[in-house]
């Protein structure tokens, strides 16, 4: 094991530990906000402030223009996807039809084995089967 391997192992362990501690803190805060009356009041205040800020952001004309552009782009993408999907379905249907025509089973011959010379041959080696 080289020194680089040791460092990456230590880094992974400290990353896990810090993630675990962050999860404990966030979980504790969430539990506090949801379980205590004071926490519920604080959460209601946060929701109200967030709603106000969201309204302010949505009233911004630059953001409204960007959202309109995004909606136009998404609509164009939907149309392109639908068109491509229809084209692909049509092509698959055409190919499937062609394959079905090309692989029609051959008509079975009504000749019996005995009419072919009376001998049954083993296909792999070509020798008669006894």
What is the per-residue pLDDT across 42-92, written as a single tens digit (0 to 9) for each?
Answer: 888 888 888 888 888 878 888 888 888 999 999 999 999 999 999 999 999
Cα gap 35→31, rounded to integer Å: 6
**Nearest-5° Cα angle at 15, 8 to 10:** 30
Higher-scoring residue by pLDDT: 47, 2 = 47
| pTM for the predicted model, two decimal places | 0.38
The reply to whether 25 falls in a domain is yes
Q: How many residues does the chain have?
A: 130
What percent of the chain clears pLDDT 90, i.e. is strictly above it?
A: 28
The reply to whether 56 falls in a domain is yes
pLDDT-based confidence at residue 1 (cuts at 50, 70, 90): very low
Tokens 């006894």 correspond to 130
Number of domains in the chain: 1
Task: Return the axis-axis angle of helices 3-35 and 37-59, rounded to nearest 10°.
Answer: 100
Question: Residue 80: which of 92, 90, 88 has the closest Cα?
Answer: 88
Residues spanned by the domain of 17:
9-91
Q: What is the mean pLDDT of the chain?
A: 79
Asked if 121 and 129 count as a contact pair (C-beta separation under 8 A), the reply is yes
Asked if 68 and 61 count as a contact pair (C-beta separation under 8 A), the reply is no
Task: Give the pair of three-digit tokens for residue 58.
Answer: 């949505």
The reply to whether 118 falls in a domain is no
Cα gap 25→22, rounded to integer Å: 5
């Amino acid at each position: 094991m080289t020194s680089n391997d040791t460092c990456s192992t230590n880094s992974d362990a400290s990353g896990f530990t810090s993630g675990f501690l962050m999860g404990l803190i966030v979980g504790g805060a969430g539990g506090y906000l949801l379980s205590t009356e004071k926490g519920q009041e604080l959460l209601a205040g946060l929701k109200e402030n967030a709603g106000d800020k969201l309204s302010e952001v949505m009233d911004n004309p630059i953001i409204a223009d960007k959202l309109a552009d995004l909606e136009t782009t998404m609509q164009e993408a939907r149309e392109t996807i639908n068109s491509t999907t229809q084209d692909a379905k049509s092509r698959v249907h055409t190919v499937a039809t062609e394959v079905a025509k090309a692989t029609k089973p051959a008509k079975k011959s009504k000749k019996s084995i005995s009419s072919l010379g009376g001998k049954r041959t083993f296909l792999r080696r070509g020798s008669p089967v006894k």
